[in-house]
Amino acid sequence: MVAVPGRGDTPLLLIAPRNRTIRDRLAADLAEVESRFAAELRSDLPCVNRLVTHIESYRGKMLRPTLVLVSAMGSNPQGGANKDAHRIIAAVVEMVHMATLAHDDILDDAEIRRGGTTINSLVGNESAVMLGDYLISHAYHLCSDIGRTDICRMIAESTNVTCEGELLQLANRGNWFLDEQTYFEIIRRKTACLCGMCCKIAAVLSGTTPATAAALYRYGQKLGTAFQIVDDVLDLTSDEQTTGKTVGRDLQKGKLTLPLIHCLSTVCPDDRTRLHDLLQAQGEPGASASTHTAAVDQIRRYLADSESVAYAQRSAGQLIADAKQAVMGHLAPSAARSLMLDMADAVLTRDC
Amino acid sequence: MVAVPGRGDTPLLLIAPRNRTIRDRLAADLAEVESRFAAELRSDLPCVNRLVTHIESYRGKMLRPTLVLVSAMGSNPQGGANKDAHRIIAAVVEMVHMATLAHDDILDDAEIRRGGTTINSLVGNESAVMLGDYLISHAYHLCSDIGRTDICRMIAESTNVTCEGELLQLANRGNWFLDEQTYFEIIRRKTACLCGMCCKIAAVLSGTTPATAAALYRYGQKLGTAFQIVDDVLDLTSDEQTTGKTVGRDLQKGKLTLPLIHCLSTVCPDDRTRLHDLLQAQGEPGASASTHTAAVDQIRRYLADSESVAYAQRSAGQLIADAKQAVMGHLAPSAARSLMLDMADAVLTRDC
């Protein structure tokens, strides 16, 4: 794993680059992204700086900045990733992503009554909204540093689509009859588009041909879709000690994801009815924590007895194969290209 | 008042231009701004379009787009306001403002328990957040249509400052000892900066000198500050039938504003203690609606017996005089300049 100064032992990346030069470049670039990120968010108001420290709670694997940096290296192995614009965009996409996380944590009435236990409890609903707004505003501000409206526009295009994905997901909240097509439409918009754009912008900044930029978009988009599927599988199958996240949170939020969509479509009619009853029961606004947990446990047992988790993993596997294909068809072999292929593979094997 | 096709009888503007040519131009420009606004927000997802219709509930006087348009005319009386870029920016700043309104409506735990009655009740906390995000993302997207990163940057700079203002306000929530200096710092950031930027961007797009652009910034900033003071006064002194808004909402949200800050600093120590007790009582998370109303009524009686509303009105009056001075010192006399002066005066006389 690549370590970044100041981040302690947190594993930042899904990948452990085999090439030492590549590893050092990536670590240096990520460290630079972190400083850009921190510098951009600094305010003259102490109350703002105090709130910004809560952002650390949202920090994850830096998937999106890493996509920018590896695509920069892959599309211009002679030094693309060292260009300042790439690092700026890497910080921008991380800000956009963190804003999404802050706003995803906003609780509704029922959740507040039930007692919210998410990161929002640290700062409250209103501060979480304002913190997200502060991040998104600074993302666009930092983006304008590059001085290219085509890049500003691509960032805005991807946030437009991300918002639509979030809204489509919200419109399907508690829809236990969600079909696979709508599920994929939601994650295409809310996750995959920004991941694709990370890679495409990196290619555009490296000055590649439009065909290569389009191929890199596909790489990021497919990888991002697979990443989301794996996230959704982990939410249903993992335990909190491994992931560090509340397990079953998607169900609590009324989100049906690929393993359960497949399970519902393949079980016998009686089991389907029983599963729908359990999904309804765990999501009832008046449900106690113990009712919720008991229902989720039963749902997890249904899943364990099915082929549905394997089905979701196969879907993710196919997407990763497509992502790798896009890269191999358009980039010449290089250490950076190998890194992109390794990164894609690592999406499938992560357990947190 | 200027009527805009499709807006029915809603009074859009604070001003009733005396010059017919100016009135027609402003009405045509505002109608164009409305179409740009609607076109930009249209989605291929029906659920998004349904949510966007709720935006109508947030529509107000279009202060910010009007500031852009009158500044465009004032800084280039020969046709500045007809330039497409001005109309785009007018739609952009309205989107930014509406996003702020949507996010201002997010309720905290206590308010939800008490039973929120704001616009948020139409769509829920989470949709209000996503709707605001959708608006802000499209604001930046539309802004990139102009193809100038300096303008994109100015918009991002002003949203950075607006967020800081909101965060400073939030940090002072329930601070019944807020001083006048901090109050002015909050409204400078959360309201006045964007208003100033509306006028400055219009001037920059008209190709004025930096000195004129700076003068127009001052005009918008001073006018915006006065507008906010009048808003704050109305929240304490008006009735719901006139304003169409919940009166006393600032107190409910723990916001101390200029009239009460002045009142607290001028009453005798006993009355000050009594007022602080009432402020505390109406804001208690457990307070019932009737306790809240009774306390607010008593606070309003204290205000009515004081000189503090008049003091706030005088402050607003001085700011409007400064705003007019900035315009008169830098723009040659024209029908458009008269409109800018009339608009400033109208801020002081509005009652809703």
Predicted complex ipTM:
0.91
Torsion-angle region of residue B2: left (phi > 0), alpha (psi -120 to 50) or beta?
beta
| Contact list, B108 vs chain A (CB under 8 Å) | 124-126
Nearest to B163 among A137, A162, A167 (CB): A137
Asked whether the beta carbons of residue A160 and residue B147 sit closer than 8 angstroms, the reply is: no
CA distance A231 to chain B (A): 22
Print burial letters for B221-250: b (CB count within 10 Å at least 16), e (below 16). bbbbbbbbbbbbbbbbbbeeeebebebbeb
Residue B219 tokens read as 């005009």
- Residue pLDDT, tens place only, B27-51: 889 999 999 999 999 999 999 999 8
Query: Does residue A235 sit within a domain?
Result: yes
Closest chain A residue to B156, measured at CA: A141
Report the SS3 class of residue A164: helix
Instruction: Return the CATH number at A44.
Output: 1.10.600.10
A4 lies in some domain: no
Assigned domain for B343 exists: no
Encoded tokens for B40: 């930009």
Which DSSP state fits B112? H
Q: In residues, how long is chain B?
A: 352
Q: Which domain covers residue A257, as residue numbers?
A: 20-349
Does the residue A10 lie in any domain?
no
Helix, strand, coil share (%) of chain A residues, nearest 5: 75, 0, 25
* pTM confidence score: 0.92
* Residue A269: other Cβ atoms inside 10 A: 7
In b/e form, how buried is each residue of A89-121, taking b as 16+ CB within 10 angstroms?
Answer: bbbbbbbbbbbbbbbbbbbbbbbbebebebebe
Report yes or no on B35 lying in a domain. yes
A289 within domain boundaries: yes
Interface test with A, best of B97, B149, B181 (most A CBs within 10 A): B149
- Indicate the length of chain A as a whole number: 352
**Nearest CB partner across the interface for A156, out of B144, B153, B167:** B144
> A3 in a domain, yes or no?
no
Judge whether A1 lies within some domain: no
Contact B166/A130, CB-based, under 8 Å?
A: yes
Reading chain A (352 residues) residue by residue, the pLDDT tens digits are 565 544 544 445 556 767 788 888 888 899 999 999 999 999 999 999 998 988 877 777 899 999 999 999 999 877 655 589 999 999 999 999 999 988 987 765 445 444 444 445 556 788 889 999 999 999 999 999 999 999 999 999 999 999 999 999 999 999 999 999 999 999 999 999 999 999 999 999 999 999 999 999 999 999 999 999 999 999 999 876 666 556 678 888 889 999 999 999 999 999 999 999 999 988 887 778 788 888 889 999 999 999 999 999 999 999 999 999 999 999 999 989 999 999 999 999 877 6
Give the chain A residue whose CA is nearest to the CA of B111: A109
Distance between CA A237 and CA A312 in Å, rounded? 12
The nearest CA of chain A is from the CA of B110 a distance in Å of: 10
What is the sign, positive or negative, of the torsion defined by CA atoms of B31, B37, B40, B41? Answer: negative
Helix, strand, coil % in chain B, rounded to nearest 5: 75, 0, 25
Chain A residues within an 8 Å CB radius of B109: 112, 124-125
How many domains are contained in chain B?
A: 1
